[in-house]
Amino acid sequence: MSIANRSPAPAVTRRAQARLGVALVLPVMIMVVAFFLIPLVNALYYSVVDFNGINPNPDFVGLANFERLFTDPKMAHALGNNITWIIVGTISPMVIGLLVAMLLWSVQRASVVYRVLFFLPYVLPGVAIGIVWGWIYDPVNGLLNQLLRAMGLGDLARGWLGEPDVAIYAVLVTAIWAGTGFAIVIFLSALRNVDIELVEAARIDGANSLQRLWFIVLPQIMPVFLMVLTLTLVGGFSVFDIIFIMTGGGPADATEVLGTYAYSNAFQLSDIGYGTTLALLITVLSVPVAVLLNRLQRKLSLQGTGA
Amino acid sequence: MAETTLAMTDPAARRALSDPDAGSRAPSSAGGHGKKVAGQVLRHVVLIALAVLTITPVMMVVSTTLKTPEDVRVDPFGLFTSFSFRNIVDAWTVGRFSDYLVNSILLSVPSTALVIVMSTMAGYTFARLPFRGRTALFYLVVLGLLVPFFTFMIPLYFQLRSLGLLDTLPGAVLVLTSTGISFGTFFMRAFFAELPAELEQSARVDGCSEWQIFTRIMLPLVGSGIGALTVFTFLANWNNFLVPLLYLPGGEYRPLTTGLYMFTGGRSNDVGPLAAGTLITILPVIVLFIVLQRQVTQGFISGAVKG
């Protein structure tokens, strides 16, 4: 850093910077206030009134919506599905992603074609993904059942999205198919940043491949690992598109999650107050997780630098 | 060790992480030459199998689209068993997918442009133009990143309705813009923050105004960031399902995503045109992704490293 950099800029410059700064930041701030802050404050208001979407002066109901929230068996069921979704839907892409990334890392001439193919599902719209996987799970003509029958496992063939016991896992497999490419590509770039000299040194010192992975490689990609974990975990609380499209929360609420339950309360049952309260629950659950994991990630990053 | 763990905080390392093609450092494996080759072949076999698994659902869309209607009725998902453009023609005309395509463009292009312009301006301010209260404003932007859209989507519906923006193109464009600016601001700020302070100072010595420093000196240097953000934002807006589902309920401005969804609800047996509609929806995404795959993956990766 130069000396000029440390000494404060002249007052004229600072004033000019402040003027331009305020002007440049204004459009974003107007948008944030109008389309985020105001509706956010309104969300808090809606959660304490009984609003049906029409009545301009809804009744104040205090904490009734919250009381209902904690005694609602459907909410508990939906939250349970969110938890299943988060556990399976986080662990699978992380593990598969890491394995495939290491495979790609270890091949010579790891062609860019692999990476493009693996990443492709991640950029596709959820509706398209839901439709195609609906075909794959089709009870009669579906690719999955045809494959099972061809392999002599016809007994396992079923209406994958129509049976309450398996529907959520069927949708999860779709989500894993769509999301793992993201983990693969991120892990691969982290692996390519790993200090190879350290790995080689450990090998010379007699560490086997599992030890090298556990003690040398994994600690180095840990911050990236945590980052992907945060994103998938937090996304798991607000999952909506893929479930709404593939099952609509059915059959018989079997795949209902907080997102679809909040949507149907607000927009199908016109119970705006309760729908908003459910949506607030999603935030209350996901924001602390995001902040906590982010802190951990920063802490790890700093430790690595010896700071 | 420091090198990689720094990836989260150090700009240079972040760049290295952001670049999927950076270096081809891979761990060398032990063993003789023959064993090495066999291992490499085996790895490629596994990777090819995974790639086929990944791409099969996309192939199904293409295959079913290009079937004759008669073949679709008998064998809807058998791969490439007949050839016809009838489904595409039907989807385009009877299925109204030509309208949906136009609407998707009318929604995605202006909202992407607005996100880019606003985020670049605000990102520059938060990186380089200090003024009193700037930190507080920045926290508001960060809050917008943390809180899921779910939390305030219901109040936003009634807000748009009272402003007369519900079911209008400008309303949906503004909401789409608002969903992207928090992230965009954060993203562009990181790019501007990496530029050396000397550039700014020497420009000032040469008599440039603050506005000229921004537009003539700094802006041309963040081209790669703007490029990545453009592709990323465009894909997010094109794929967005919830915004048109909630705020364009009338159907007049229905884009491809909700158009496709409505099509599955209304005429679930029309698999051929449905496949064609799906293809029309995903084809722009796939083409954009393949042509700009570096920018896309880079955008997604550095997007993930935002926090």
Q: Which residues of B touch A200 (CB under 8 A)?
A: 27-28
Q: Which residues of B touch A203 (CB under 8 A)?
A: 30
DSSP B68: -
Partnered with residue A60 across adjacent β-strands are: A49
- Selecting from A100, A127, A182 the residue whose C-beta is nearest the C-beta of B300 gives A182
Which pairs with CB-CB distance under 8 Å and at least 24 residues apart come from B7-11?
B7/A190, B7/A193, B7/A223, B7/A224, B7/A301, B7/B305, B8/A223, B8/A224, B8/A227, B8/A297, B8/A298, B8/A301, B8/B305, B9/A301, B9/A302, B9/A305, B11/B190, B11/B193, B11/B194
User: All domains of chain A, ordered by start, with CATH?
Assistant: 3-46 (no CATH), 68-129+179-305 (1.10.3720.10)
Interacting residues of A77 by C-beta distance below 8 A, sequence separation 6+: A253, A256
Partnered with residue A265 across adjacent β-strands are: none
Q: What is the mean pLDDT of each run of 10 residues along chain A (307 residues)?
A: 53 89 96 95 90 81 88 93 93 94 84 88 92 89 88 85 91 94 89 85 86 87 85 86 90 91 90 90 88 80 50
Domain boundaries, chain B: 35-84, 96-304
- Selecting from B124, B175, B304 the residue whose C-beta is nearest the C-beta of A231 gives B304
% helix, strand, coil for chain A, step of 5: 75, 0, 25
Distance CA A163, CA A80 (A): 18
Closest CA to B146 of A228, A286, A295: A286
Q: Which residues of B touch A5 (CB under 8 A)?
A: 197-198, 201
Structure tokens at B159: 């807000």
- Selecting from A20, A53, A198 the residue whose C-beta is nearest the C-beta of B129 gives A20
Task: Kindly report, residue by residue over B11-22, the tens digit of the pLDDT.
Answer: 433 444 544 444
Structure tokens at A6: 């440390």
Partnered with residue A49 across adjacent β-strands are: A60
Nearest-Cα residue of chain A relative to residue B6: A301
Distances (CA, A) of A136 to A64, A141, A225, B208: 44, 8, 31, 61
- Pick the more confident residue, B266 or B100: B100
Distance CA A124, CA B110 (A): 21
- End-to-end distance of chain B based on CA atoms, in angstroms? 21
Window B:244-283, CB contacts with A under 8 Å: 246, 256-258, 260-261, 264, 271, 274, 278, 281-282
Closest CA to B62 of B83, B47, B48: B83
Class of the CATH domain delimited by B96-304: mainly alpha
Distance CA A186, CA A226 (A): 11
Q: What integer pLDDT is reported at residue B6 of this predicted model?
A: 27
Window B:178-217, CB contacts with A under 8 Å: 178, 181-182, 185, 197-198, 201, 204, 209-211, 214
Closest CA to B230 of B282, B283, B279, B191: B191
Distances (CA, A) of A78 to A46, A167, A231, B94: 21, 14, 21, 38
DSSP B267: -
Distance CA A61, CA B299 (A): 46
Q: What integer pLDDT is reported at residue A154 of this predicted model?
A: 80
Task: Kindly report, residue by residue over B107-126, the tens digit of the pLDDT.
Answer: 999 999 999 999 999 999 99
Q: What integer pLDDT is reported at residue B236 of this predicted model?
A: 92
Helix (H, G, I), strand (E, B) or coil at A159: coil
**Interchain contact, B282 vs A221, CB within 8 Å:** no
- Give the gap in angstroms from C-alpha A14 to the nearest C-alpha of chain B: 8
Structure tokens at B220: 């041309």
Task: Kindly report, residue by residue over B270-288, the tens digit of the pLDDT.
Answer: 888 889 999 999 999 999 9
Nearest-Cα residue of chain B relative to residue A25: B122
User: Phi and psi for A50 in degrees, rounded to 5?
Assistant: -105, 90
Out of B38-42, B220-224, B229-233, B276-280, pick the least confident. B38-42
Window A:130-189, CB contacts with B under 8 Å: 131-136, 138, 141-143, 146, 177, 181-182, 185-186, 188-189
Task: Kindly report, residue by residue over B193-226, the tens digit of the pLDDT.
Answer: 989 989 988 998 898 999 999 999 999 999 988 9
- Please report, to the nearest 10 degrees, the dihedral formed by the alpha carbons of residues A52, A53, A57, A62 taken in order: 50
Q: What is the ipTM of this complex?
A: 0.88
Task: Kindly report, residue by residue over B77-87, the tens digit of the pLDDT.
Answer: 777 788 888 88
Distance CA B164, CA B17 (A): 45
Highest mean pLDDT among A116-125, B144-153, B292-301: A116-125
Distance CA B246, CA B157 (A): 7
Q: What integer pLDDT is reported at residue B14 of this predicted model?
A: 46
